[in-house]
Amino acid sequence: MESKTLSDGEIRQQASLSSQQEQQPVQEKKSIGRMLIDNVKEPGSALQIVIAAALAIAIGLIVTSTTDSIPPAVAPLIGIPGTLWLRSLKAVVLPLIICSMILAVQKLKEMTSGKARKLGIATIVYYVGTTVLAIVHSIIMTALVWRNLMVVASRESLVLSDDDAEKYEERTEVKIESVVVQMFESFIPSNVVNALATDSLLAVLVTSVIVGALIKGPTSHLLKVIIEVEKIILRVITWLIKVAPIGVFFLILPNMFKLNLADIGTNLGILIGGSLSGMALHLFIVLPIVFFAFTRKNPYAYWFKCSPAWTTAWGTASSAATLPVTLNVARARGVPRTVVDFAVPLGCLINMDGTAIYFPVVVVFMAATQGITLGPTDYIIILLLSTLASIGTTPIPSSSLVLTVMIAQSVNVPLTGMYAVVVAIDWFIDRFRTAVNVSGDLFAADVMRKYTGITDSDDDYEEADVGNVATTTAIDRV
């Protein structure tokens, strides 16, 4: 048997390959090291948003702790860049919902084997189910743990000021039946133009679904216009994402000037701790278990790669303003456009897990500070009303304050000066509620992908020339 002799060229080639294999681990280490730097340099990346938020918090704490009084004009003037950025995000929400829902319904009409019906029913059941789970574990934790740590407040702190009394009297006029009627009325607008002008998102969504169902076929000229409009919206969103760190910084900093560290007593600390711990339990244990049960994927890796969405949600405190980012991030994670365009806008309006967790904690807080002990029947009422209220809450900052009054009144918890404390700190907790709400929408999108088996073919609606979202490119390399 003849032995094959290697030529000098082949020997050099093998030596070169061996050398490359030895150097590969070093190159991989270098790429991982450079990855974070690239992420920081990436315009609008999640790390940039986190750094901007941390800087705003640090500067705000330093100023409030070293300055006796801050002129009232400082906060609104400093907040102008953040306000303009937030208004820009909100400006694209309505046209984005309209385009997304119409295109999603058109795609669902083309599907066979009942996938469209399956997606619709499963999405609603999932959102309501996770909301109930959120309220149940929040009530259990509040009743067994946090209630026992709260103390009765002093008589002076329970007294309402004259100005606050007039404001809260208006909020106590909100009745349960009014909320129920208003929720159903919000499905059908009496005037479509007025619904668009007043940001009635649920009415706009329902109208968009009906229009999408009535458009006949992909050859419709109206459908082509909608596709072109969506392309323009996505280009605008891409630019807004790139300047997100600037917007988040100037949104948080003015709010930090409102924080008075001396006012954070034991009860308020427990309220914040109870709310945040309930949200953490839901976000890092309950939702990941549900997500893994359906998809068999690592929920924490998925959540981390979706960080541009929930960091933007934390900065804006608005699920509606974050919706453009949430849609793009979900698509970048490989969730089919049809699922994303249907499930995410719907979740933005009815999936408020973070808000649902907060309602029991704040109602028990107002009861405990007055020495009132709630019974099992009261907790059942809180469960039912929290579910209804969280679905009926508008996806804008601090919209839950009025509904909190309704739930408290339903279990005979009167308003006192402690509600003023709740209002004062709501802007802070609201950011975490919004981050949980948006995270829930992102988990739901991939769960619906797996459950329904829906996939987008290569010849689906033509993508806008935005590629993957700029904010996710660096994270994708992790």
How large is the average pLDDT for residues 440-468?
72
Name the percent of the chain lying above pLDDT 90.
19
Please tell me the least confidently modeled range out of 56-70, 223-237, 382-396: 382-396
Residue 4, pLDDT above cutoff 80: no
pLDDT at 469: 41
CA distance 384 to 84: 38
How large is the average pLDDT for residues 271-276?
89
CA distance 125 to 252: 35
For residue 33 the two structure tokens come to 């090291």
pLDDT at 175: 62
CA distance 55 to 49: 10
Alpha-carbon torsion (173, 434, 321, 83), positive or negative: positive
CA distance 220 to 201: 25
For residue 384 the two structure tokens come to 């039912």
Q: How many CB atoms lie within 10 A of CB 182?
A: 11
Task: Report the phi/psi class of residue 174: left, alpha or beta, with left for phi > 0 and alpha for psi in -120 to 50.
Answer: beta
pLDDT at 114: 73
Between 178 and 75, the higher pLDDT residue: 75
By C-alpha distance, which of 289, 305, 250 is closest to 88? Answer: 250
* CB burial of residue 93 (10 Å; 0-12, 13-18, 19+): buried
| Dihedrals phi, psi of 73, to nearest 5 degrees | -80, -15
pLDDT at 96: 84
Please tell me the least confidently modeled range out of 321-325, 390-394, 430-434: 390-394
pLDDT at 25: 44
pLDDT at 44: 74
pLDDT at 278: 94
- The 3-state DSSP composition of the chain as helix, strand, coil percent (nearest 5) reads 75, 0, 25
CA distance 474 to 478: 7
| Average pLDDT value over all residues in the chain | 78
pLDDT at 264: 52
Between 5 and 393, the higher pLDDT residue: 393
Between 396 and 43, the higher pLDDT residue: 43
Please tell me the least confidently modeled range out of 145-154, 385-394, 448-457, 469-478: 469-478
Residues with Cβ within 8 Å of 301's Cβ and at least 6 positions away in sequence, in order, are none
This prediction's pTM? 0.73
User: What is the per-residue pLDDT across 5-45, written as a single tens digit (0 to 9) for each?
Assistant: 555 555 555 555 455 454 444 444 446 667 777 767 777 77
Residue 394, pLDDT above cutoff 60: no
In angstroms, the first-to-last Cα distance of the chain is 50
pLDDT at 466: 41
CA distance 157 to 119: 50
User: What is the per-residue pLDDT across 126-144, written as a single tens digit (0 to 9) for each?
Assistant: 999 999 999 999 999 998 8
User: What is the per-residue pLDDT across 215-239, written as a single tens digit (0 to 9) for each?
Assistant: 887 788 888 898 899 888 888 888 8
Asked if 452 and 115 count as a contact pair (C-beta separation under 8 A), the reply is: yes
User: What is the per-residue pLDDT across 279-336, written as a single tens digit (0 to 9) for each?
Assistant: 999 999 999 999 999 999 999 999 999 988 998 898 888 888 888 889 989 999 999 9
Please tell me the least confidently modeled range out of 101-105, 256-260, 338-342, 356-360: 256-260
> What confidence category does residue 447 fall into, taking pLDDT thresholds of 50, 70 and 90?
very high
CA distance 291 to 288: 5
